[in-house]
Amino acid sequence: MTDPESLRHFLETALAFAHAALDDPSDDQVARARHYAEDVMPRIERLRRLEFTLSEARQVALLLKQLRAVLAAVEKRRALAQTG
């Protein structure tokens, strides 16, 4: 597996955990989703010097955008649950 493929796989895993936390916003699920999300940026920083094809870069950017959106939805859902 190449570095871009490895990063894409890790982002997909992080996104899956974020979706799981959206479905079940328990403390454990949210903590797991946050853990994976926090590990994404250091991995991207390490790979920044590597060459990506345009397609690979687009895939990574799309997955990162989706991850951020789902995590924002998780946080919003948890905030509503705590106030409601």
The answer to whether the beta carbons of residues 30 and 79 sit under 8 Å apart is no
Q: Is residue 73 part of a domain?
A: no
Q: Evaluate whether residue 79 is within a structural domain.
A: no
User: How far is the C-alpha of 75 from the C-alpha of 5, rounded, in Å?
Assistant: 28
Q: How far is Cα 68 from Cα 66, in angstroms, rounded to an integer? A: 5
Query: Range of 40's domain?
Result: 1-53
Residue 82 lies in a domain: no
Q: What is the pLDDT of residue 51?
A: 75
Q: Is residue 71 in some structural domain?
A: no
pLDDT tens digits, one per residue of 4-43: 788 889 999 999 999 999 999 899 999 999 999 998 878 8
